[in-house]
Structure 1
């Protein structure tokens, strides 16, 4: 049953990359009359910085301390621009988080890379919410901080946590209480959750959208709004393609297709928890909060979409041929997919012939070499790097020609509504 008084807002890193962004976020919250659960990502490019630190930490390259100093300066600078010196209760909290992170970095890394990733990278969200929640309190916003790790419970699949919806629903309804004497707004982290062992786990890259959708499902929220630095869902990434078009409406089905193909506007797992309870999703600009944005919803009627372009860079096309030149049948496919699963390499595109099998994957430098080494035991392996995977939904022939001109096409798949092309990365 819909809880018509509760809405879920999610703010991405671009919206809180500065003190001005944090103030804008709080102004948006102040404009609302509904009860809110506010999900916040790490500030700016903090996640990338933490991932770089992790690499140095794992590799034993002490240059990562320069990144740690940058992380510290960035967050302390935001604090200085938000709080007056005399009334800065936030700084001790941030100092404690940074101290805990430093202690971890001075220890020896665990052998499990995925575990290390989650225990370190989570600090981006912990820092951002500590700052934002304290600033909201300082301007007398009726709000409360919540550590989501005590609410969303997951298994121990590090970097790709699977939420226990039953356990998390009980904890959510005990935590997010909306009564007369309770706070109107709760501020919490996206991207992370907790395990029964008390460790931190992440929900996949860009997983804050997914957090918002999970909480909306658990709380039977009225709707979800994702606040971004663009005016809604566009037919292409404006950083990559010119003359983009804003879509006023997108069906859940289309959003799932876009996310599966690599569109970064919405996390791939976001739609299912919303669709299961018919919860509407709005994508809006935090720079223009009163603009229309895009509605993503359950829609059975046809929507006339323009060509939708999605590009995934840094791709590797792997071609496999059995060493004995046998057919690529079920036994071969089983070995291939078992290896990909073992090394957590996701196939973005696959194609087979009688004696060869091609896979397009992300160039995940920590996992891909191991997968290739294992595949070499049963197959002749060839691969091309520095490629891009271009997906065009609702394509026209003119669109295909425009975006493949002067490029080598390594692989092509076409259906009535979608064409997918592996291309060289020349501009």
Structure 2
């Protein structure tokens, strides 16, 4: 069996849903199909949550947009009569509406997971119903009853042993079993029945976990580009497709912030040498990119990775002591406690700098605690660019038009924190 993952861009319209079904029905072997929320639904749900928690009643306008968007796709696919799909989608939307009238305005991360999960529930409900309507032998699965995590909301940690046991009971292959299982990416559940999410863009991770637990032959991530490119074509000119990428390189790229693959995706695949393909849902017959286990050298072009909305935090001990092991351990303990990830770090004898995402729900708490032991200075609105496999020409062009705050360079990688 294989695992397919379709992102939100691939199912942002009724035509996208039809295209997904066309792609999967061409495969004769069993598939587990992991799907993200449709289009920009996650962003919309985040906006609804923000308005709800801030008691800004305009969030009801956003809810109306959410409702109309999904019902319109349903109507295009099934007609405007009250079909089974229409009723199921309406029920999910009614649950969201009820939540927005009664959900306690408590912990943001908890509220986030209970609400934002509806993006994936809505998309897979529509797709599963359309698959059935076209005659596919398919089954919808609520992944929250199968992938079990702890209660670390917004970054749930999967219980692999329990999840494997449940997966093997849920996803059955063979005579009398469905050919296709359609389920949600990004979300999981706790043993007490609450919803967790696996980190932004976590649907890739879901696909990798399922592939690992079910011993899939391979995983295919369907995107709007024809594979893994050496740079974001929206930012850089003359991008090229990478035909093959090693797991080791993919881990490096994900760590540096490459969004083509979720950072946690590679390890579950690498552990069982499961190949990963990145292909275009617009051109499904194109070759795409193969990400796989190899010790052979691959000749890569310069690969550019850009992260926006960065904050460069500079720390100096209040007592002007040296930044040594004890000091570093305290810094990283505080960052870990507040779930702030260090994208780049640099240390000198009496100062420490760290580049992090400008995450409004995590970073302020970390800064407040750091101020108890350090003089804290920071610059916001910066960008972090990483170039792997750089050339002298790359370096020459990289600094043009930038105010550089911090730079790091090794034999294979150069990284800049800068403002334009």
Which TM bucket (shorter chain)? over 0.9
For residue 57 of structure 2, the aligned residue among 44, 47, 62 is 62
Q: Give secondary structure in 1 for the equivalent of 2:349.
A: coil
C-alpha distance in 1 between matches for 2:152 and 2:277: 30
Shift in Å at residue 86 of structure 1? 4.2
Q: Which moved more, 1:202-211 or 1:63-72?
A: 63-72
C-alpha contact 1:350 1:359 (8 A) present in aligned 2:
yes
**In the alignment, is the contact (CA less than 8 A) between 1:58 and 1:109 conserved in 2?**
no
Per-residue CA deviation, residues 298-347 of structure 1 (Å, 9 max, x unaligned), is 01100000000000000000101111111111222222112212211111
Hey, what does 1:308 align to over in structure 2? 303
Task: Tell me the SS of whatever aligns to 1:106.
Answer: helix
The 5 Å alignment of 1:289-308 reads 289-308=284-303
Structure 1: 5+ residue stretches without partners: 1-5
- Per-residue deviation, 1:401: 2.1
CA distance in structure 1 between the partners assigned to 2:306 and 2:343 by the alignment: 12
What is the DSSP-based 3-state SS (H/G/I as helix, E as strand, rest coil) of the residue aligned with 1:85? coil
TM-score, normalised via structure 2 length: 0.98
Counterpart in the other structure of 1:12 = 7
Q: Distance in 1 between matches of 2:306 and 2:398?
A: 11
Q: Distance in 2 between matches of 1:84 and 1:76?
A: 10
What is residue 120 of structure 2 aligned with on the other side?
Answer: 125
Which residue in the other structure is 2:229 paired with?
234
The one of 332, 335, 346 equivalent to 2:330 is 335
1:160·1:203 contact (CA, 8 Å) conserved in 2? yes
* Contiguous gaps of at least 5 residues in structure 2: none
1: distance between equivalents of 2:104 and 2:226?
42
Shift of 1:88: 2.0
Q: Supply the distance in 1 between the matched residues of 2:170 and 2:366 (Cα, whole angstroms).
A: 42
Quickly say closer, same or farther: Cα 1:87–1:120, change in 2 above 3 A. closer
Name 2:76's counterpart in structure 1: 81
Count, aligned residues: 420
Which runs of structure 2 are paired with 1:23-422 in the superposition (5 Å)? 23-86=18-81, 88-422=83-417
CA distance in 1, matches of 2:164, 2:401: 53
Segment of structure 1 superposing worse, 283-292 or 331-340:
331-340
**Pairwise CA distance, 1:60:** 1.7
Q: Which residue of 2 aligns with 1:3?
A: none
Distance 2:7 2:98 in 1: 28
The answer on whether the counterparts of 1:351 and 1:357 sit within 8 Å (CA) in structure 2 is yes
SS of equivalent to 1:350: strand
Farther off after superposition, 129-138 or 171-180:
171-180
Q: How far 1:7 moved relative to its partner?
A: 0.5
Q: CA deviation at 1:400?
A: 2.1
TM-score (normalised: structure 1): 0.97
SS in structure 1 of the partner of residue 241 of structure 2:
coil
Q: In the aligned structure 2, how far is the partner of 1:379 from the partner of 1:39?
A: 45
Q: What is the deviation of 1:108?
A: 4.2
User: How far apart, CA to CA, are the structure 2 residues paired with 1:257 and 1:87?
Assistant: 49
Shift of the alpha carbon at 1:397? 2.1
Q: How many angstroms apart in 1 are the aligned matches of 2:307 and 2:368?
A: 24
Instruction: State which drifts further: 402-411 or 35-44.
Output: 402-411
Which moved further from structure 2: 333-342 or 315-324? Answer: 333-342
Contact 1:57-1:109 within 8 A present in 2 as well: no
Indicate if the aligned counterparts of 1:393 and 1:418 stay in contact, CA closer than 8 A: yes
Separation in 2, partners of 1:102, 1:402? 51
Rounded Cα–Cα distance in structure 2 between residues aligned with 1:301 and 1:326? 46
CA deviations over 1:346-405 (Å, ceiling 9, x no partner): 111110111110010000112212221221121111111110000000011211221320
